[in-house]
Amino acid sequence: MSIDPSEYRRVLGHFPTGVTVVTGADENGPAGMAIGSFASVSLDPPLVMFCPGSESASWLRIKETGAFCVNVLGADQKDTCGVFAGKADDKFEGIDWTTDVTGAPVIPGSIAVIDCEIHSILDGGDHDIVVGLVKSMSTSDDAAERGPLLFFQGGYGRYEAI
């Protein structure tokens, strides 16, 4: 059975994800892209993963730095997601970013920040499967109050406890 690409997108869109911006900084400045395919992998050693398109301009720059930072967006950061899902030349315009230990950009207002060295890159078809070794991590004090930005069926939402 062949899988139709639009049906693949529709069905997989039924799996809800959080939204992150994965960043890196090289000599030309900061790079970043919206990423939903983020997950924890291992506790010991502490590993996480995400899957960028293997030809993504942002990922090709981040890869060369050997590190990345995962910025978990809050429910009030939908506009930030929109910018980092786009193709603007300077996605960081107007963003007062800082760094943690690897030098990859930390985006203000993120509800969690996970700063990593690249551990390994595996073949994932038209995407790469990137495994990162966590070097530093933190959360914002207002994370529970603001809640995470969620993505489901191609649209955004917020978390509600049941």
Ligand X SMILES: Cc1cc2nc3c(=O)[nH]c(=O)nc-3n(C[C@H](O)[C@H](O)[C@H](O)COP(=O)(O)O)c2cc1C
Question: Contact residues for ligand X (CB under 6 A)?
Answer: 19, 33-37, 51-53, 56-59, 81, 84-85, 87, 127, 151
Residue 70: both structure tokens together: 């995962």
CB 72 within 8 A of CB 44: no
Nearest approach, Cβ of residue 123 and ligand X (Å): 15
- Non-local (6+) Cβ contacts of 98 within 8 A are 105, 106, 108
Q: Give burial (CB, 10 Å; 0-12/13-18/19+) of 97.
A: middle
Nearest approach, Cβ of residue 155 and ligand X (Å): 10
Residue closer to ligand X, measured from CB, 19 or 104: 19
Residue closer to ligand X, measured from CB, 77 or 101: 77
Residue closer to ligand X, measured from CB, 35 or 48: 35
Residue closer to ligand X, measured from CB, 30 or 100: 30
Residue 9: both structure tokens together: 């997108």
Nearest approach, Cβ of residue 44 and ligand X (Å): 26
Residue 120: both structure tokens together: 């390994």
Nearest approach, Cβ of residue 67 and ligand X (Å): 17
